[in-house]
Amino acid sequence: MFKKLLGMFSNDLAIDLGTANTLVLVKGQGIAINEPSVVAIQYDKHGQERILAVGQEAKEMVGKTPGNIKAIRPMKDGVIADFEVTEMMIRYFIEKAHKRKGFLSPRIIICVPYGLTQVERRAVKDSALSAGARYVYLIEEPMAAAIGAGLPVKDPNGNLVVDIGGGTTEIGVTSLGGLVLSKSIRVAGDNLDQAIVDYIKKNFNLLIGDRVAEDLKIKIGTAIPLDEELTTTVRGRDQVDGSLTSIEITSEHIRQAMKPSLEEIADALKSVLEETPPELAGDIVENGIVLTGGGALIRGLDKYLSDAVKLPVFIAEEPLLAVAKGTGKALEEIDLLQQTSYED
């Protein structure tokens, strides 16, 4: 009761700490921040560092910075690659979202990739505590994705969600409010971008950056053949003579480039289905599989995965927001959470 009362005087926050994007929701107000998980750091001549930009502004600096500025993605492949910068980023986003704060420091629920080590979980909690959180809860990504996709996670039924983010694809089977089974592979959006860079280098002798590859994936990427293939022009540096040049690329090329990674995602899904207890598997056969995360937006991925596992596959509404929305819903039940398994 007392804790409930305290909650009325502070803006509790829900944070989806993604490897590609970080979203912050303020309780009762909705999404306050939706920005890339990138930090630009400037070093002075004594080697001292200071934050130059965080989020969208920092992402625009990636690959374009002079020597004394570094644009860093502190979370990579679903793990914390740089603790110090992750902490700076969490602190920056909390302070920005909580600037119109009540007179109490907030309680914060943070969604973290499945399978972070105890040390990484501790680091995330400590960053939020040192940024002024009164209490920090952690929730794992597949669970938040399932809640955000509107699946009836509390029912005694099996639900299967596949969250394809930037660094990881997380597959989870939920039932009775918990994760029964989960698998995380380091094959997701970033890996697809890298596969496109490599394919274009190998087949066209053209060097392109990650940002250009990501644009190609979003603009013309497809998991299945299209009735009318899409075409676009891509600019880069010729590997042989070093000149700047442009070539025509089709959706068929991008599909070929992404094929091995998409096969890995399909194989991971198959292995989770094989391990799912029969009672829950029956529910999944009936209800199908739900895709969340930015990767769910790849053209035809639902059909591709449905063909691979011979089950219906659906795309969640606003898949890029599903994890954040799920974390936000968990925040609304934060008083309940104090007694449940979410508490770390």
Ligand X SMILES: Nc1ncnc2c1ncn2[C@@H]1O[C@H](COP(=O)(O)OP(=O)(O)OP(=O)(O)O)[C@@H](O)[C@H]1O
Binding site for ligand X (CB under 6 A): 18-21, 78, 113, 141, 163, 165-168, 188-190, 214, 217-218, 221, 293-295, 297-298, 320, 323
Task: State the Cα–Cα distance between residues 288 and 122, nearest whole angstrom.
Answer: 35
CB of 5 to ligand X, least distance (A): 34
Residue 96 among known ligand-binding residues: no
Nearer to ligand X, 162 or 206 (CB): 162
Cα–Cα distances (Å) from 33 to 23, 29, 55, 259, 324, in that order, read 5, 11, 9, 33, 11
Residues in contact with 81: Cβ distance below 8 Å, sequence separation at least 6, in sequence order: 73, 74, 75
User: For the CA atoms of the chain, what is the radius of gyration?
Assistant: 21
Residues in contact with 72: Cβ distance below 8 Å, sequence separation at least 6, in sequence order: 38, 39, 40, 41, 82, 85
CB of 281 to ligand X, least distance (A): 25
Residue 20 among known ligand-binding residues: yes
Residue 158 among known ligand-binding residues: no
CB of 118 to ligand X, least distance (A): 19
Nearer to ligand X, 164 or 280 (CB): 164
Nearer to ligand X, 108 or 298 (CB): 298
**Which amino acid, one-letter code, is at 207?**
L
Residue 84 among known ligand-binding residues: no
Residue 21 among known ligand-binding residues: yes
CB of 148 to ligand X, least distance (A): 11
Task: State the Cα–Cα distance between residues 196 and 216, nearest whole angstrom.
Answer: 8
Nearer to ligand X, 70 or 217 (CB): 217
Residue 217 among known ligand-binding residues: yes
Residue 337 among known ligand-binding residues: no
CB of 116 to ligand X, least distance (A): 11
Nearer to ligand X, 53 or 320 (CB): 320
Name residue, tokens 């540096």: 237
Kindly state the tokens that stand for 194: 């890298």
Task: State the Cα–Cα distance between residues 50 and 221, nearest whole angstrom.
Answer: 37
Cβ 10 vs Cβ 102: under 8 Å: yes
Phi and psi dihedrals of 201, rounded to 5?
-65, -45
Cβ 208 vs Cβ 245: under 8 Å: no
Nearer to ligand X, 263 or 286 (CB): 263
Residue 273 among known ligand-binding residues: no
Task: State the Cα–Cα distance between residues 306 and 310, nearest whole angstrom.
Answer: 5
CB of 140 to ligand X, least distance (A): 11
- Detail the residues annotated as belonging to a binding site for ATP: 19-21, 166-168, 214-217, 294-297
- Detail the residues annotated as belonging to a binding site: 19-21, 166-168, 214-217, 294-297
